[in-house]
Amino acid sequence: MKDNKTTNLLLLIIVIPLVFYLLKTLSFIFVPLVLSMFIALLFLPLMRWLQKRRVPKPVSIFIVILIIIGVLKLGGELIQLTTNEIIATKGVFIENAETKIVSLIVNIEAFFGVERLEGETIFRHYCQSENIFSRFGTTLDFIQNTLSMILMTVFFIILLLSESINFQNILNNTLFKQKYSSIKTFMTIEKDIIRFVKVKFFVSLLTGIGFSLACLFFDISFPIFWGLLAFTINFIQMIGSVISVLLLTLFAFVELDPTGTLLFFILVITGVQILFGGVLEPILMGKTFSLNVITILIMLMLWGFIWGIPGLIMSIPITVFFKIVLEQFPKTKVISDLMAGGETILKIHKKQKA
C-alpha cells in the first residue's frame, strides 16, 4: 500500500506540471473554451426560461447570439466615442504631456545623477526608434489574436448551449460517480459564478461611472475613456483597481498643477475604489467567495503567467470552480477550507482541544 501511495504521489508530481505546460502551450484553445464555459453559464437560466415557454432551441441560441453581438456592438460604440474624444484634442494634450513629462524626467535625472549625451533628446535616449515597427507588428498580432479568440469563444458558446458539449455530463463521467452529486455541484457552480459576474459587473460599472464623474468635475480630459478603462480593468481582482488609480493619477499629473487640487482628485478616485471595491463588493458577495487573500494572489500570478490578461480576468472564477469541486470530497475539503481562510480547520482544532 505504501508503494502504491508513493507511486501515485510521484505520478501526481509529474502530471501537474505537464498539465500546466499544456494549458500554456494550447492557450489559443483553452482560453476561449474556459471563457465560453463561464459565459454559457450566464445564459443557462435564460435558456431554461425560454425552454419553459416552449421556444425551439435553435431560436433560443439565436437570441443569445444576438445579445452577445449587441454587447460587443455597444462596446465598439463606446470605444469609437472614446477615440473621437481623443482625436478632437488635436494634439494639445500631447504637447502639454511632453512638457510636463520632460520636466519631470530632467528632475529625476538630476536627482540620480543620470547624464545624457549633449544634444541627445529624452525620447531618443529612452525610446529606441528602430523598435517602432516591431511594436506596430506586435499590435497587429494582438488585434488578430483577439479577433480569433472572440470568434472561437462564440463558437464554443454555441456548442455548450446546444449541449454538443455537456459540462454536467463531463463532471459526472470524470469526477463524480453519482448523477445527483454532479447535478448538485453543477448547480452550485452555476449559481456562484453567475452571482460573482453580476456583482463584479455592477461594482465595475459603478466604479467606471465614478471615475468618469470625477474626471468631469475636475475637468480631466477623456472622461469616457477613463470610465471605460476603470470598468474593464476592475474585473482583474485586487490588481485592476490599483492599476486604474495609478494610471489616472499619472494622467491627472499632466493636466492638473501639482497642488491641493491634484491631491484632492487622487483622494476622490481612491475613495471611489475603496467604497465600491473594498466596502460594497464584499457586502454583495457575502460569504459565497470567502477566499483567502494569499489564495487570490497566488491564483492571479499562476493564471496570469499561464494565460496572460485573460488568465488574470478568469483567475477568480476558476478558483471558485476548483474550490466548489474540492468541497465535495472529504479528502480534499481541507484544501478548500485553506483556500477559504482555514476557518473550518480552526473550528475542528478548537473542538479537539476541548
In a domain, 306, yes or no: no
pLDDT tens per residue, range 310-349: 888 888 888 888 888 888 777 778 888 887 765 444 454 4
Domain annotation covers residue 110 = yes
Q: What percent of the chain has pLDDT over 70?
A: 71
9 falls within a domain: yes
Q: What is the pLDDT of residue 106?
A: 65
Domain count, the chain: 1
Read off the pLDDT of each residue in 135-157 and give the average, rounded to a whole number.
74
Provide the pLDDT for residue 207. Answer: 93
What's the pLDDT band for 109 if we cut at 50, 70, 90? low
Least confident of 43-52, 128-137, 336-345: 128-137
Give the span between the Cα atoms of 123 and 102, in whole angstroms.
9
The alpha carbon torsion through 268, 274, 279, 281 (nearest 10 deg) reads 110
The chain-wide mean pLDDT, for the chain, equals 78
> Is position 6 within any domain?
yes
- Answer whether residue 144 is part of any domain: yes
Instruction: Please name the amino acid found at residue 112.
Output: F
Q: Which amino acid is at 28?
A: F
Whole domain around residue 92: which residue ranges?
A: 1-165
Decide if 107 is inside a domain.
yes
- Among 129-143, 162-176, 208-222, the least confident range: 129-143
Q: Is residue 156 part of a domain?
A: yes
- Of the pLDDT bands very low, low, confident and very high (cuts 50, 70, 90), residue 95 is low
Residue 92 included in any domain:
yes
* Grid cell 499619472 in the structure block, residue: 250
In the predicted model, is pLDDT for residue 140 greater than 70?
Answer: no
